[in-house]
């Protein structure tokens, strides 16, 4: 059963709005084309971060920079996505979903071109930050659109359907990025993102209709937005799910941000081999996400699923640390551990985010913004830590993954006891 919900002003709990789900009337909530666009918008984040990962060593050398500085291009993008969601989420609650979405995608396209033309590392970092801010519109508004139409288990299942589309991004992006390096340099990867941004702008203009009626918008200005966000942060169940999602995302992006440099520099694998490793691990995430949406949420209570998956993530972090300190297993040990970590995220992320969004039917944009901001802020902080000492370290990466997983589990345990 859904927990208490927070209203638009953030100062009282209200029941979930009736009749929001079209599935209750036997109708599909979205047209097939709209599902494709929403999934692509959700995939924009992974594509933005993953497509150029195999080219990190090349762009570092080309711009005469260092590995920590190159990883700041990832940090800049993640910070932009974190802060941008605080802009676009509440804004979409105030003026509707379409206009902020289209504006953000247009700026994303221009920022991607800026990255492709960057002549120095500071310029590239700035372009990546702008790219992250603008691209966050698609991430946060796609979730809000789903919450406008669905709630509860149907919402989690639809998020899994979106995950089927967006989950292809981390599988295909590094592979495509590695293959692009055969025919172009790292700049070509950003030209691909430029074209993608333009296509999504057109697709959203044609395929996304307004899902937030004028009477449900928050037209009272910044004060209403601040009260809505404050009310969400004061709601302990929402805050618990928010922290769980945030720290779990930190573990995920510690791997995403650190694996390229660590696996290629420490274990001496080629960009093509790295793309294979990344693809296999992403398949684990995709498969478990679909298993969760189609089977697990129907058979097991949400708290049981979350505490089990969080425990698996902790175990994966322990395995990475042991395989890089106590046992010298090489890639054969850390690869399966990272695959298990990615698989656990297929349960953690949709369930934690879905439960949090269920509590905010009248402030879906603000709730989605807080979820995205927390996640990407944590990700931006942990992504460069595996090279913080100036040299990539597999042990440091394992410690970061373990620490974030433990914090996610600790954040959820009070909710687990309450729900149980």
Q: 151 pLDDT exceeds 60?
A: yes
Alpha carbons within 13 angstroms on the beta-carbon side of residue 97 total: 29
The CA distance from 235 to 370, in Å, is 13
> Quick one: which H or E segment has residue 96?
none
Indicate the pLDDT class of residue 171, thresholds 50, 70 and 90.
Answer: low
- Residue whose structure tokens are 């297929």: 346
Which two three-digit tokens encode residue 83?
Answer: 């802060």
Least-confidence region, from 20-29, 241-250, 350-359, 381-390 = 20-29
- Give the residue-averaged pLDDT of 49-73: 84
Domain 28-212: which CATH number of 1.20.1250.20, 3.40.50.2300, 2.60.120.260, 3.30.1330.60? 1.20.1250.20
Angle in degrees, 0-180, between the axes of helices 271-291 and 236-261, rounded to the nearest 10: 160
CB distance 306 to 414 below 8 Å: no
What share of the chain has pLDDT > 90, as a percent? 25
More confident residue, 36 or 10: 36
Residue 11: what pLDDT?
41
Q: CA 143, 149, 154, 158: dihedral to nearest 10 degrees?
A: -40
Domain layout of the chain by residue ranges: 28-212, 219-419
Distances (CA, A) of 137 to 271, 293, 360: 31, 25, 19
pTM (two decimals): 0.70
pLDDT band at 115 (very low <50, low <70, confident <90, very high): very high
Q: Report the C-alpha gap between 220 and 403 in whole angstroms.
A: 41
Closest CA to 4 of 232, 216, 306, 303: 232
**Domain covering 219-419, topology:** Growth Hormone; Chain: A; (1.20.1250)
Q: What is the dihedral of CA 345, 348, 354, 359, to 10 degrees?
A: -140
Average predicted confidence (pLDDT) for the chain:
81
308-334 residue pLDDT tens: 999 999 999 999 999 888 888 888 888
What pLDDT is recorded for position 109? 96
**Where on the phi/psi map is residue 64: left (φ > 0), alpha (ψ -120 to 50), or beta?**
left
């Amino acid at each position: 059963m859904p927990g208490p919900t927070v209203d638009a002003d953030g100062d009282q709990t209200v029941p979930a709005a009736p009749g929001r789900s079209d599935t209750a009337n036997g109708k599909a909530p979205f047209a097939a084309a709209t599902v494709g666009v929403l999934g692509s918008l959700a995939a924009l984040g992974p594509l933005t971060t993953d497509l150029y990962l195999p080219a990190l060593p090349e762009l570092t050398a080309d711009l005469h920079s260092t590995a920590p500085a190159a990883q700041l291009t990832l940090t800049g993008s993640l910070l932009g996505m974190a802060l941008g969601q605080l802009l676009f989420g509440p804004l979409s609650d105030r003026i509707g979903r379409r206009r902020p979405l289209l504006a953000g995608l247009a700026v994303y396209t221009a920022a991607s071109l800026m990255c492709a033309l960057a002549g120095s590392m500071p310029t590239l970092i700035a372009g990546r930050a702008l790219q992250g801010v603008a691209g966050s519109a698609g991430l946060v508004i796609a979730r809000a659109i789903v919450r406008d139409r669905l709630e509860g288990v149907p919402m989690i299942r639809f998020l899994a359907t979106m995950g089927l589309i967006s989950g292809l991004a981390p599988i295909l992006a590094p592979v495509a990025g590695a293959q692009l390096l055969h025919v172009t340099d790292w700049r070509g990867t950003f030209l691909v993102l430029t074209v993608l941004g333009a296509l999504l702008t057109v697709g959203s203009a044609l395929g996304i209709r307004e899902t937030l009626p004028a009477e449900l918008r928050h037209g009272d200005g910044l004060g209403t937005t601040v009260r809505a966000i404050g009310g969400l942060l004061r709601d302990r169940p929402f805050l618990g799910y928010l922290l769980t999602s945030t720290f779990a995302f930190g573990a995920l992006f510690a791997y995403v941000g650190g694996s390229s440099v660590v696996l290629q520099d420490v274990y001496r694998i080629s960009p093509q081999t790295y793309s294979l490793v990344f693809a296999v691990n992403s398949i684990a995430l995709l498969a478990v996400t679909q298993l969760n949406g189609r089977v697990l949420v129907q058979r097991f209570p949400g708290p049981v699923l979350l505490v089990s998956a969080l425990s698996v993530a902790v175990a994966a972090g322990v395995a990475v640390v042991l395989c890089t300190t106590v046992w010298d297993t090489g890639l054969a040990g850390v690869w399966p551990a990272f695959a298990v970590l990615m698989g656990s995220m297929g349960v953690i992320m949709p369930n934690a985010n879905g439960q949090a969004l269920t509590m905010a039917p009248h402030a879906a944009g603000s709730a989605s913004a807080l979820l995205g901001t927390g996640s990407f802020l944590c990700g931006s902080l942990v992504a460069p830590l595996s090279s913080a000492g100036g040299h990539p370290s597999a042990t440091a990466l394992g410690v970061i993954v373990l620490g974030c997983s433990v914090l996610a589990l600790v954040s959820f345990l009070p909710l687990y006891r309450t729900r149980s």
